[in-house]
Amino acid sequence: MNTIKAFINDKEYTIDSGLTIMQACDSIGIKIPRLCYHPKLSISSGCRICIVEVEGMRNFVASCSYPISEGMKIHTNTDAVRKARKDILELILDNHPKDCNACVRDEVCELQQLASTIGLRERKFEGVRREKYVDDSSPSIVNNHEKCILCGRCVKVCSQIQNISAIDYANRGFDTVIVPAFNDKIANSVCTLCGQCVNVCPTAALTEKNYTQDVFALLNDKTKIKIAQVAPSVRVAIGEAFGIPAGNNMEREIAHALKLLGFDYVFDSQFSADLTIMEEASELLERLNGKGKLPMITSCSSGWMKALEQFHPDLIDNVSTCKSPMSMMSSIVKTYFADKIGRKPSEIANVAIMCCVAKKYEAKRPELAMEDGTPATDYVITTRELAWMIKSAGIDFKNLKGQDFDAPLGLSTGAATIFGVTGGVMEAAIRTAYELATKKPLENIDITAVRGNEGIKEGSIEINGKEIRVAVASGLGNAHKLLEIVKKDPERYHFIEIMACPGGCIGGGGQPYSGIRDLPFDPKLVSERAKALYKSDELNKIRRSHENPAIIKLYDEFLGKPLGEKSHKYLHTHYKQKFPKGIIRKSKEK
Amino acid sequence: MTSHIHNQEEINKQIKDFIAEILKQDRPDSHLITVLHKAQELNGYLSREVMDLVSQEMNIPTSTIWGVATFYHYFKLNPIGKYNISVCMGTACYVKGASEILETLKEELGIGVGETTEDMLFSMHEARCIGACGLAPVAMINDKIYGELTPKKITDIINKLRKEEETK
């Protein structure tokens, strides 16, 4: 690679050519403050926080976009540039509420951190403020416009990563807002509720809808049996909210903390992930035998299901009829388990702890309700919300001894653990489908072709002499690309896994905000979480869903057989086209 | 109302034909503003239905179209009345009391800027300098310029137009 010589703060450095000033400074260990910039998104140089002084230039330049060149003399920390950054930030804050200590992002707010970094210690200007306007129409995402600083990262992640374009800037000047088309509410828009906008928002302008108060109230309700379930990817991320490095599996601490919070039973969504595999692998084998459409596409991801209904209604018959693991668990708890403990379903409350904000919407889907119309899953809270509840209840999470999930719905296999990472459902399904179809053990159960952080992956496996071609996409932008291929060439694949969030559930919209002054939506963070899940799979003695003894017992005692009558009643569902219909921008590369 | 529906179909067809030509060019997305101009010219304003149509035909998300349509003053998001009043808010007119004219109209017509009266007779907009500073403050009603306005004068003009409509 070519290099250039440049001066940064009066010292000479040899730097790879082709970098921006910001990248060059990052490479020598100087992190220039930044706000609207994100390495995964296009650069707009809008916020001007990252300005630096360059000798010979009339004005300060935005380091995020300005290329470094031979002999350039850059100063990142002069009095003048520090003062200018402070003025800029003061003007941004001028149109922002002063309620930090009563704000949900207190302590984890990027804007607050930036003010501290820049050294802003007083607010001099008292100007006109944008009006308070809160869109809480959706069960998943709340948009509080009063806190929006128009950095635009949400707009970019929605269009450039997810290719959904649910929101954009509207109006201009002081009246500029970020809203869905026609100023509609989020609930009436094409928004899939994936929550990636929440992940990249530097303030509390976009947050999940918070149900923690409802859950605390429930925990104090003596008339209810309180049951928690925990998604795989929650356990490898929640530690980050307590200052524990990414990639530590905290499942035992979570189970312990939930008991201390007052849950009567703590179950594991990994149990129902195993159950999903039993049903989904059987469904795949049926479809391969001519009963139903191919390719079959997975249905676990709530954000993807909403995208299916609004962006790809023509593929509804291709999608597996299996409910998500969360909804399967809730169904089984209020039927099989209720019966076991001699309680009525109405006496039971299901709380799901998920890495996801779209799951809050899924819980309210009428087609997933119990027979009497009440929801199977009563509340969904995110990893972030649980972390706050644990702190709020004074539980010393880091130092808990830890305990197991409760039997029988807390036992799971390694196959279920990897549901949390892109390619995991595929891998788990192949392990079971292969063995159910061939009655022979699968020799190498690590199916590496579908592992890794790439947006689209493909592979194939031979089952009974037939080549089964599979593909995996994570992030809705990648999903659109993959489905474009499928629509042109429907024979190309037999089985497809789609997750709405980049990296799969571990990159979900409900995961802890990145650490102080770290990058939100960081691919490195996501891969640490993935490693922890794969390690947990490896360490599990049972790594195939169909070998889970609690699952075998559930079929013996209650369900009968996969795709049987009871399975269809409690574990399967159907989807319908929803409006408005979304527009998918075609990918540029041909 | 059948004639109206037929008319809307005809308008939609013309918008579609216009877009079909645009799509033959390189980077058709960059012609969005041209298409919205044409759509407004044909439809009188940018209705939600028209923006949806442009979105479907050009494969551009509605949020993007809404962003463009709300950014430029030129685009009208409400139907335009028979008499389209533009009050000049340029510097000269402003100094000579244009805001009083605007306030008088708001009161007289019962509508705000960018809105249309229920009887579809009057719409009101703000304009930047229309180049008639010598006559400030001025307003345009459709293509006609009215100068040296006072609150009384503009009220009289409105009442005169109303009378004309009644006698028709």
Is A203 in the same domain as A249? no
Distance CA A481, CA A473 (A): 9
- Minimal C-alpha gap between B32 and chain A (Å): 14
**Low-confidence residues in chain A, pLDDT < 70:** 515-517, 587-590
- Of B71, B106, B127, the last residue of a domain is B71
Is B90 in the same domain as B162? yes
- Minimal C-alpha gap between A128 and chain B (Å): 21
DSSP state of A317: G
In 3D space, the residue among A493, A494, A159, A485 whose CA is nearest the CA of residue A312 turns out to be: A485
In 3D space, the residue among A402, A410, A459 whose CA is nearest the CA of residue A434 turns out to be: A459
- In the three-class reduction of DSSP (H, G, I as helix; E, B as strand; rest coil), residue A74 is classed as strand
Is A236 in the same domain as A278? yes
The CATH number of the domain where A339 resides is what?
A: 3.40.50.1780
In 3D space, the residue among A354, A277, A140 whose CA is nearest the CA of residue A571 turns out to be: A277
Is A447 in the same domain as A365? yes
- Is A283 one of the catalytic residues? yes
- Of B21, B48, B71, the last residue of a domain is B71
How confident is the model at residue B1, as a pLDDT?
40
Confidence of residue B2 (pLDDT cuts 50, 70, 90): very low
Is B87 in the same domain as B49? no
Q: Which of A12, A367, A462, A538 is catalytic?
A: A367
In 3D space, the residue among A206, A150, A203 whose CA is nearest the CA of residue A175 turns out to be: A150
B67 — contact with chain A (CB < 8 Å)? Answer: yes
Per the domain annotation, does A124 fall within a domain?
Answer: no
**How do A73-75 and A134-135 pair as beta strands?**
unpaired
Residue entry with tokens 């790879």: A16
Residue type, A222: K
A98-to-A133, A136, A175, A542, A572 alpha-carbon distances in Å: 16, 21, 20, 53, 48
In 3D space, the residue among A420, A13, A383, A358 whose CA is nearest the CA of residue A194 turns out to be: A358
Q: Is the pLDDT of residue B110 over 90?
A: yes
Write down the number of H helices and E strands in chain A. 20, 18
Digit-coded pLDDT (tens) for A245-258: 999 999 999 999 99
In 3D space, the residue among A53, A52, A20 whose CA is nearest the CA of residue A39 turns out to be: A20
Is B94 in the same domain as B29? no
In 3D space, the residue among A186, A218, A567, A575 whose CA is nearest the CA of residue A378 turns out to be: A218
- For residue A12, the cross-strand partners are A7
Residue type, B110: G
Per the domain annotation, does A107 fall within a domain?
Answer: no
Instruction: Give the domain range for residue B65.
Output: 2-71
- Is A320 one of the catalytic residues? yes
Q: Which of A147, A209, A226, A359 is catalytic?
A: A359
The CATH number of the domain where A23 resides is what?
A: 3.10.20.740
- Minimal C-alpha gap between B157 and chain A (Å): 32
Query: Taken in order A405, A407, A409, A412, is the CA torsion positive or negative?
Result: positive
- The alpha helices in A423-470, defined as continuous H runs, are 424-438
Q: Is the separation of the CB atoms in A409 and A403 below 8 Å? A: no
Tokens of A2: 């070519």
Is A386 in the same domain as A431? yes
Distance CA B36, CA B49 (A): 12
Is A365 in the same domain as A465? yes
% helix / strand / coil in chain A, to the nearest 5? 40, 15, 45
How confident is the model at residue A588, as a pLDDT?
61
Residues of chain B found within 8 Å of residue A583, distances taken between Cβ atoms: 55-56, 59-62
Is A49 in the same domain as A135? no
B71 — contact with chain A (CB < 8 Å)? Answer: yes
Query: Which residues have C-beta within 8 Å of that of residue A40, sequence separation ≥ 6?
Result: A157, A160, A161, A521, A523
More confident residue, A1 or B127: B127
In 3D space, the residue among A557, A533, A546, A491 whose CA is nearest the CA of residue A281 turns out to be: A546
- Is A367 one of the catalytic residues? yes
Distance CA A275, CA A255 (A): 20
Query: Which residues have C-beta within 8 Å of that of residue A50, sequence separation ≥ 6?
Result: A22, A32, A33, A34, A35, A37, A62, A63, A64
State how many domains chain B has. Answer: 2
Per the domain annotation, does B78 fall within a domain?
Answer: no
Q: Do B61 and A169 touch (CB under 8 A)?
A: no
Is B105 in the same domain as B140? yes
Is B44 in the same domain as B98? no
How confident is the model at residue A590, as a pLDDT?
39
Is B67 in the same domain as B120? no
**How do B144-146 and B139-141 pair as beta strands?**
antiparallel
Is B91 in the same domain as B136? yes
B60 — contact with chain A (CB < 8 Å)? Answer: yes
Is B7 in the same domain as B57? yes
Residues of chain A found within 8 Å of residue B28, distances taken between Cβ atoms: none
Is A536 in the same domain as A434? yes
Q: Which of A36, A64, A194, A300 is catalytic?
A: A300
How confident is the model at residue A516, as a pLDDT?
57
Residues of chain A found within 8 Å of residue B64, distances taken between Cβ atoms: 165, 168
Nearest CA in chain B to A174: B71
- Minimal C-alpha gap between A8 and chain B (Å): 39
Residues of chain B found within 8 Å of residue A168, distances taken between Cβ atoms: 61, 63-64, 66-67
Q: Do B70 and A159 touch (CB under 8 A)?
A: no
Is A169 in the same domain as A228? no
- In the three-class reduction of DSSP (H, G, I as helix; E, B as strand; rest coil), residue A291 is classed as coil
| Backbone φ and ψ of A193, nearest 5° | 65, 25
Residues of chain B found within 8 Å of residue A171, distances taken between Cβ atoms: 70-71
Distance CA A529, CA A523 (A): 10
| Backbone φ and ψ of B132, nearest 5° | -125, 45
Per the domain annotation, does A62 fall within a domain?
Answer: yes
- Of A70, A93, A116, the last residue of a domain is A93
Residues of chain B found within 8 Å of residue A180, distances taken between Cβ atoms: 63
How confident is the model at residue A520, as a pLDDT?
79
B61 — contact with chain A (CB < 8 Å)? Answer: yes
Instruction: Give the domain range for residue A15.
Output: 3-93
Query: Which residues have C-beta within 8 Å of that of residue A138, sequence separation ≥ 6?
Result: A185, A186, A187, A191, A193, A209, A361
**Exposed, middle or buried by CB within 10 Å (0-12, 13-18, 19+), for B144?**
exposed
Residue entry with tokens 């009442």: B159
- Is A280 one of the catalytic residues? yes
Q: A interface mutation test: which of B45, B62, B64, B113 has the most A CBs within 10 A?
A: B62
Distance CA B15, CA B9 (A): 10
Distance CA A319, CA A92 (A): 46
How many CB pairs below 8 Å do chains A and B form together?
52
How confident is the model at residue A126, as a pLDDT?
81
Is B87 in the same domain as B156? yes
Is A187 in the same domain as A240? no
Interface of A with B (CB under 8 A): 159, 165-172, 179-183, 189-190, 580, 582-586
Element containing residue A22 per DSSP (H, E):
helix A21-27
- Of A180, A208, A236, the last residue of a domain is A208
Digit-coded pLDDT (tens) for B31-90: 999 999 999 999 999 999 999 999 999 999 999 999 999 999 889 999 989 999 999 999
B3 — contact with chain A (CB < 8 Å)? Answer: no
Per the domain annotation, does B77 fall within a domain?
Answer: no
Q: Is the separation of the CB atoms in B135 and B148 below 8 Å? A: yes
In 3D space, the residue among A44, A61, A43, A65 whose CA is nearest the CA of residue A52 turns out to be: A61
Per the domain annotation, does A368 fall within a domain?
Answer: yes
Q: Which of A240, A283, A435, A497 is catalytic?
A: A283
B128 — contact with chain A (CB < 8 Å)? Answer: no
Distance CA A16, CA A27 (A): 9
In 3D space, the residue among A581, A585, A579 whose CA is nearest the CA of residue A481 turns out to be: A585
Q: Do A182 and B71 touch (CB under 8 A)?
A: no
Per the domain annotation, does B76 fall within a domain?
Answer: no
B23 — contact with chain A (CB < 8 Å)? Answer: no
- Of A177, A208, A239, the last residue of a domain is A208
Model pTM? 0.94
Is A81 in the same domain as A181? no
Query: Which residues have C-beta within 8 Å of that of residue A394, sequence separation ≥ 6?
Result: none
Distance CA B164, CA B142 (A): 16
Nearest CA in chain B to A170: B67
The CATH number of the domain where B113 resides is what?
A: 3.40.30.10
Is A295 in the same domain as A412? yes
How confident is the model at residue A524, as a pLDDT?
87
B48 — contact with chain A (CB < 8 Å)? Answer: yes
- In the three-class reduction of DSSP (H, G, I as helix; E, B as strand; rest coil), residue A427 is classed as helix
Residues of chain A found within 8 Å of residue B63, distances taken between Cβ atoms: 165-168, 179-181, 189
Q: Is the separation of the CB atoms in B35 and B25 below 8 Å? A: no
Residue entry with tokens 């028709």: B168
Is A145 in the same domain as A240? no
Distance CA A386, CA A251 (A): 13
Tokens of A324: 């998500």
Residues of chain A found within 8 Å of residue B66, distances taken between Cβ atoms: 168, 170, 179, 181-183
- Of B15, B43, B71, the last residue of a domain is B71
Q: Do A168 and B55 touch (CB under 8 A)?
A: no
Is B43 in the same domain as B97? no
- Minimal C-alpha gap between A179 and chain B (Å): 8
Distance CA A328, CA A326 (A): 6
Is B104 in the same domain as B144? yes
Q: Is the separation of the CB atoms in B85 and B157 below 8 Å? A: no
Residue type, A590: K
Digit-coded pLDDT (tens) for A374-401: 999 999 999 999 999 999 999 999 999 9
Packing angle between helix B48-58 and helix B32-43, nearest 10 degrees?
A: 140
State how many domains chain A has. Answer: 3
Q: Is the separation of the CB atoms in B124 and B158 below 8 Å? A: no
How confident is the model at residue A156, as a pLDDT?
97
CB neighbourhood size of A276 (10 A): 30
- Minimal C-alpha gap between B48 and chain A (Å): 7
Q: Do B60 and A583 touch (CB under 8 A)?
A: yes
Residues of chain B found within 8 Å of residue A182, distances taken between Cβ atoms: 48, 51, 62, 66
Q: Is the separation of the CB atoms in A63 and A51 below 8 Å? A: yes
